[in-house]
Structure 1
Amino acid sequence: MDNPLLLIRNAQVYAPEALGKTDLLICGGRIVQIGRDLRPNLDGLEEVDASGMLAIPGLVDQHVHITGGGGEAGFSSRIPELTAFDLLSCGVTTVVGLLGTDSVTRSVKSLLAKAKALKEEGLTAYCLTGAYDLPSPTVTGSVKDDITYISEILGVKVAISDHRCAQPTKEELTRLAAHVRLAALTAGKPGVVHMHTGTGKNGLGMIFEILDETDLPVTPFRPTHVENVMEDAVKLAELGGMIDFTADDNAELTAGHLLRAEAEGAPWEQITMSSDAGGSIPIWDKNKKFIGMGVGKPDTLLKVVLALCEGHGVPLEKALCLITRTPADALNLPRKGRFEPGADGDVLLVDKELSVKRVYAAGRLLLKND
């Protein structure tokens, strides 16, 4: 059904704020009413009794290698692309795809095509132009034009402080950020300069120099993997910047990073978390020689949320913000990551261990595991 009528009853609802036992009414793909014991008189209404389950917003994952990452150890190390099921089964209903190290055997065009394919399968999908390489690989030949004219493209990917990156100069990064900001203003987009941040010598130092020496605001600069540069990340957050942690398969490790950042002064509302799903997690020796590789998985998001709640007493509504409303707001997606009238009907039904049982996107049932 193109415009489903759906009433989810009796769930413990987190919007992400805790609303208690509440009903959600979804019409035409959007939430139209939230309240207890709703009694709409609508033909064709489907009712779902979610007693014993939690209802949380569909997850917003802003760093996913939807076409697969890897490639640091030869052609056989290229990671296969993700499927819609890979994402939905972990609760991700809104995804931002990007490239990584390899922009030779992979392209922004194929990335864009994959985002469009995921949209056809019911997800909300965006992507970033660019990659580790400079000049940034694009669809149109221009970062500005990609962002301005292609609806799915929200910003640009670049890499800093890493032995694999293109070693961008301060001038190159300044000009790139300026182009992104101008295109974003023109197109009404967030204008993201999404920065892979490695363990290199300069951390986020170049960003601070740009902020000191130019009139560019802090808002476009979005470092990820900031567990690699904790002190700099906290400083950037204190300046009003967004910082993004990568959810590790060791959920307790990432939970510790997040709480440390907050304890050291990073406002919680400036912190997001993404999965790096489909990306390689290479292991290097002290001389930067490749010695092994893992693969990012989308299921790490809810695992870290559970670790925060069960291991550290963080309220669920606070932990959920990292992967729902906060990244949605940072990406200028006001209908995502929340339950309120007018928001998209992206709903996860999960058990108390945050295991995904059902996934609704725009009110349509896309996954059932109960």
Structure 2
Amino acid sequence: MVLLIKNGVILSPDHEGQKDVLTAGGNIEAIDENIKLSGIECETIDAKDCYVVPGLIDSHVHICGGGGEGGYKTRTPEITLTDITMAGVTTVVGVLGTDGTTRTMSNLLAKTYALNEEGVTAYAYTGSYQIPVRTVTGSITDDLILIEKIIGTGEIAVSDHRSSVPTVEELSRIASEARIGGMLSGKAGIINLHLGDDRRPLDILYRLLENSSIPITQFLPTHMNRNKWIFKDAVEFGLKGGYIDLTTSTVPKFIEDGEVSSSKAIRILLEEGVHLNQITVSSDGQGSLPVFDEAGKLKELKVGKSSSILECIRELHFDEKLEIEKAIRIATSNPAEILRLRSKGRLKAGYDADIVILKKESLEVDTVICKGRIMVRSGRAIVKGTFE
């Protein structure tokens, strides 16, 4: 399908003013002023009073479900296609989590392939909270080299009562295997670390970095806004050059207990001198949001949503007064560059035609295009998942 988007303000994510976007064959062909076509069958989309932005990247999603901390009935459901597209998300990275037994790497990969067949772009990390890391081939390095859709390892849990309490040596070995696999496959080989509620959660990572030549940018710690002491460490980590991933899904109880909202966290990080390019957000979509009592017993369980990313962007722009083009970066060009997703995260000729049209006044989703295919139009899903 050939699409021509006219009259919209382009955030590529750079603010480029009002221009047209031409897509064909799933790619962006041109971005220019007043593009005109003749002799070509083309569908035109009017983006007047809208921003035209890259499709959002949700880099931490429990696509085949998660949870289970309260028993079998608390296992969260798989994500659906419209959970993704209606959120303005066009690319997801699937993860396992606490449960690496009933949620397996085969399960995760099958869901990754299914989402790609349904029309979005999906990748996966190999492993779960636990170590030894449960992989597909028996090796993190081999998974990265031999399986196209695997781009790193994670989420490996540290500083959490649900983790395997890895040693520095164990985590170093995991990082080395991921780095080598990334180098040999041309992928990022990122190690996605789950941070729990223990004090000084990054100590193990600092000890690793002091005693190895693995760069700080090989790691992407997530949930770095989950409480005040982790967020304090996040500022320090960012000033040292590390990447910071903030979780957008939350519940009021978390905020009451000291979680720093993702939008407020970004404002503080920027004020403290952390570079915007080091910051990403992810939803923890379909992951469980468990609330435990002082004895560690589960009290309440909610489910993360990919839609929380766009909510964060709205709060950043409207409440925290961050320029819209900067707010967009945290879920477009930043994760694309950190995860080395070369055709994602920007509106640029030759890149994938992953495009979202947002209403200027509200930043609500109007249209979502995945690889040149219209998935959401006028705020309604026109393409649904196989069983929706």
- What TM-score do the two structures reach when normalised by structure 2? 0.92
> What SS does the aligned partner of 1:136 have?
coil
Partner residue, 2:278 = 270
TM alignment of 1:118-157, pairs within 5 A: 118-157=115-154
Partner residue, 1:358 = 367
Aligned residues between the structures: 367
Query: Distance in 1 between the 2:216 and 2:38 partners?
Result: 49
Query: Distance in 1 between the 2:243 and 2:195 partners?
Result: 13
Q: Report the CA distance between 1:112 and its aligned residue.
A: 0.4
> What SS does the aligned partner of 2:204 have?
helix
Farther off after superposition, 141-150 or 68-77: 141-150
Query: Distance in 2 between the 1:265 and 1:100 partners?
Result: 32
Partner residue, 1:25 = 22
Q: Deviations over 1:19-61 (max 9, x none)?
A: 2221001122111211111113352222112212221110011
Say yes or no: does 1:37 pair with 2:34.
Answer: yes
Query: Distance in 2 between the 1:362 and 1:296 partners?
Result: 25
**Among residues 99, 102, 107, which one is paired with 2:104 in the alignment?**
107
Query: Distance in 2 between the 1:325 and 1:210 partners?
Result: 28
Partner residue, 2:238 = 237
Query: Does the 8 A contact of 2:247 with 2:284 survive in 1?
Result: yes
Instruction: Give ranges in structure 1 of 5+ residues lacking alignment.
Output: none
Partner residue, 1:50 = 47
Partner residue, 2:310 = 302
> What SS does the aligned partner of 1:276 have?
coil
The runs of 4+ residues in structure 1 deviating greater than 6 Å are: none
Q: Report the CA distance between 1:7 and its aligned residue.
A: 0.6
Q: Report the CA distance between 1:201 and its aligned residue.
A: 2.5
Query: Does the 8 A contact of 2:9 with 2:16 survive in 1?
Result: yes
Farther off after superposition, 220-229 or 250-259: 250-259
Q: Report the CA distance between 1:341 and its aligned residue.
A: 1.2
TM alignment of 1:240-259, pairs within 5 A: 240-249=241-250, 253-259=261-267
Q: Report the CA distance between 1:238 and its aligned residue.
A: 2.1
TM alignment of 1:217-236, pairs within 5 A: 217-228=215-226, 229-236=230-237
Partner residue, 2:386 = none
- AA aligned to 1:214 is S
Q: Report the CA distance between 1:237 and its aligned residue.
A: 1.9
Query: Distance in 1 between the 2:50 and 2:199 partners?
Result: 47
Say yes or no: does 1:288 pair with 2:296.
Answer: yes
> What SS does the aligned partner of 1:40 have?
coil
Partner residue, 1:9 = 6
Say yes or no: does 1:367 pair with 2:376.
Answer: yes
Say yes or no: does 1:202 pair with 2:200.
Answer: yes
Partner residue, 1:334 = 342
Q: Report the CA distance between 1:150 and its aligned residue.
A: 0.2
> What SS does the aligned partner of 2:112 have?
helix
Farther off after superposition, 354-363 or 272-281: 354-363
- AA aligned to 1:231 is K
Query: Distance in 1 between the 2:62 and 2:6 partners?
Result: 35
> What SS does the aligned partner of 2:261 have?
helix
Instruction: Give ranges in structure 2 of 5+ residues lacking alignment.
Output: 380-388
Query: Distance in 2 between the 1:82 and 1:72 partners?
Result: 18
Q: Report the CA distance between 1:334 and its aligned residue.
A: 2.3
Query: Distance in 2 between the 1:48 and 1:202 partners?
Result: 50
Query: Distance in 2 between the 1:349 and 1:202 partners?
Result: 41
Q: Report the CA distance between 1:257 and its aligned residue.
A: 1.4
Q: Report the CA distance between 1:283 and its aligned residue.
A: 0.5
Query: Distance in 2 between the 1:139 and 1:334 partners?
Result: 25
Query: Distance in 2 between the 1:295 and 1:369 partners?
Result: 27
Q: Deviations over 1:217-260 (max 9, x none)?
A: 11211100011312222222222221100013479922111111
Farther off after superposition, 219-228 or 246-255: 246-255
Query: Does the 8 A contact of 1:100 with 1:131 survive in 2?
Result: yes
> What SS does the aligned partner of 1:128 have?
strand
> What SS does the aligned partner of 2:241 have?
coil
Task: Work out the percentage of aligned pairs sharing the same amino acid.
Answer: 40
Say yes or no: does 1:63 pair with 2:60.
Answer: yes
Query: Does the 8 A contact of 2:249 with 2:285 survive in 1?
Result: no
Farther off after superposition, 273-282 or 213-222: 213-222
Query: Does the 8 A contact of 1:230 with 1:261 survive in 2?
Result: no
- What TM-score do the two structures reach when normalised by structure 1? 0.96
Query: Does the 8 A contact of 1:109 with 1:139 survive in 2?
Result: yes
Q: Report the CA distance between 1:145 and its aligned residue.
A: 1.0
